[in-house]
Amino acid sequence: MKTKIRIFAVPIIFTFLTVVWLLWYIFTPLRVVYVHNTYEGVVKKPDRIGTILDHSSSLEINEITAKQTYLKLLLPNQVHIHGNDDNSQECNMNTCFNMSRCLNGFSVYVYKPVFSAKISPLYAKILKVVSESQYLTTDPTTACVFLPPYDTLDRDPLSTDYSHGFRYTLTSLPFWNNGMNHLVFNFFSGTFPTYSHSLSSLNLEFGRAILIKASVSDNFNRRGFDISSPLLPKDFKLTDRHPGALRVLNNLYPVQRKYLLSFKGKRYVWGVGSVARNALSNIHNNRDIVLLTTCIHGANWYKYEDRLCENDNNVYTEYEFVDLMINSSFCLVPRGRRLGSFRFLESLQFGCIPVSLSNSYVMPFSDVIDWKLTAINIDERNLFQVPAEIHSVSANQLLAMRLQAQFIWETYFSSTRKYISTILEILKDRIYSHFSRSYHQWNFPPGAIFNQMEYVYKNNNNLFTAVVNIYETVTGAKLSEKVKLVVNTFE
């Protein structure tokens, strides 16, 4: 009898579970499915869960902002809107950049200035350099790339340079198109106490714009789309180059300088960026390794000082910053509150090899510059291995890295004009990949921005203009023969 009951119970239980599942399936609210297309993100109507009903009915990405409130009222907890959340930022040059705008050549349109907008001196220099560039166009309908008139360099809400009520300002630009083909510059994002590196920390609706951003974390890097930038000081020169120390002081030799390793900067007693800098005193020996920190920064620094602050502050004043940089073989570049540091470019300028302590930091212009030839990257957790690591660098390697540091500085970072020119040439290489410059052209003299890979043809009386690049290292006689051959050919 018990056996028969068990036999009949199985189909009854199965039937009951099936009915429950069907009821759940039928009465579960419909979900909106987000589809990421090649050129536009769309919200499409489903007929059942996960099934697209009408492939033709879609909302273009630039309409989503207007529809956002309506969709949230319909399905308050189940709508996925393409925005600035980190998970949706999967942009690349194929999905978030309109290549067809660049078919007639590379050109940049700078929006007319908005007089009510607050502009920092540094961003004013950036706008001026681009406005004087050979790539400037005054016709937005033919532009390949757009540069907004709004200063987005500092997006830290606690900063005096922060523009409040600015989140949606970019979306009002007439050619914005959800940021496609626009460049957005940013040096500071995130704020106390977390200093987040996520893209949402910009507190800015940047859409599909290309970010030229400092302190980029590899965890939030849209590789091959955004461009990692160094931190530029507010007084960075416009066109007059900041000369490199090797050229000014002629101090290439001796190879081994007075100090093996040096650093002079702030120490954060607690919070983000404090771990590495608080431990620097453990490898400071006041002889060939001089690592100086001070707790004096900010109005309320004394409220957080520890037992080491008094001694640190006294020793800090015993050394001059420039003297340390000029006379050091290696310069430590530990992260601060953010991943990037002004010390990085300063090291290059003084011909001092940067030793970076900043985990997950994406080095500036790392898409084209090979920093292994110039700098040393060490995990922050391996701080105590830094002396052994730099002692292992041979004299020949040290000399080669020093020369490379000066070349990189002079070519790509020594002025606002060089900095902007480098960014524009990186974009050109991405857009016109068939003309892109090689690894060697970017990383060895004379440098990529002096090496234009465009050939201009002029159909006028069967004449044309050709640009001939000769890369081989040849003797004077051979070079003369090559030049003579070229001249004879075009005569």
> Which domains, from first to last, does the chain contain?
25-82 (no CATH), 99-229 (no CATH), 246-414 (3.40.50.2000)
CA distances from residue 209 to 119, 204, 205 in whole angstroms, order as listed = 20, 11, 9
Q: What is the mean pLDDT of the chain?
A: 79
Give the pLDDT of residue 98: 96
Give the pLDDT of residue 454: 55
CA distances from residue 26 to 19, 123, 236, 301 in whole angstroms, order as listed = 11, 56, 64, 62
Q: Copy the structure tokens of residue 158.
A: 């606690």
Find, among 173, 172, 151, the residue nearest to 162 by Cα.
151
User: Do 352 and 325 meet the contact criterion of CB atoms below 8 Å apart?
Assistant: yes
CA distances from residue 324 to 276, 327, 343, 347, 378 in whole angstroms, order as listed = 20, 5, 12, 11, 21
Ranges in the chain, pLDDT < 50: 2, 28-88, 455-460, 464, 469-491
Q: What is the pTM (predicted TM-score) of this model?
A: 0.74
Give the pLDDT of residue 72: 33
Type of residue at 311: N
Type of residue at 454: E
Please report which residue ranges of 317-410 form alpha helices under DSSP H. 321-326, 343-349, 386-391, 395-408
